[in-house]
Amino acid sequence: MLKLLGALLVIAACTAFGIKSVMKKRDTIKALKELRSALSEIARAINFQLDPLPEVISRLHKEQFSEADSFISQLHTNVQNSENEPFSQLWEHTIKLFSKEKELPIQAESLLLSLGESLGKMDYETELSRLKEGQASLSELIDETEQNYGKTEKMTKSLSIILGIFIVILLL
């Protein structure tokens, strides 16, 4: 009886591990979509209001009704907490923190870091075109990640169950 219970626990643990890894991938896709929408909102705000970027971020933070760990909220907090740092450094810090939390792909992180180097330093037209290019690149990355996710979701779940069964066989 104890062997059967132990075997079920091992299989359940391996299955839970597989489901957790699938959920991480789903959260990554959600974070990429959030970043794409944040770039869209920043572009929209720049297009309609010719305010400095810290003010645009503050306004977007007030308009946004999402959870506190969103990208705009983190950027707003960093802007408020440091008055003397240039916006590009605040952007870089926020991107690195957000990327670490949400386990973003390296391509997304490098794209956003390169976008942030010149954000707020160029003219109105160039800013909008760079933000739109960033959105397009993120959209391509999201499509690629979703296709990869669709292919590997079932396989990951199945392999985790098979791994659990294999461990049980080895232990018996």
DSSP assigned state of 53:
H
pTM (2 d.p.):
0.78
pLDDT in tens, 96-141: 988 888 888 899 889 988 888 877 777 778 888 888 998 999 999 9
> If we measure between CA atoms, which residue out of 35, 13, 18 comes closest to residue 95?
35
Question: What is d(CA 25, CA 118) in angstroms, rounded to the nearest whole number?
Answer: 30
Distance set, CA 151 to CA 14, 25, 145, 146 (Å): 20, 12, 10, 9
The DSSP string of 135-165 is HHHHHHHHHHHHHHHHHHHHHHHHHHHHHHH
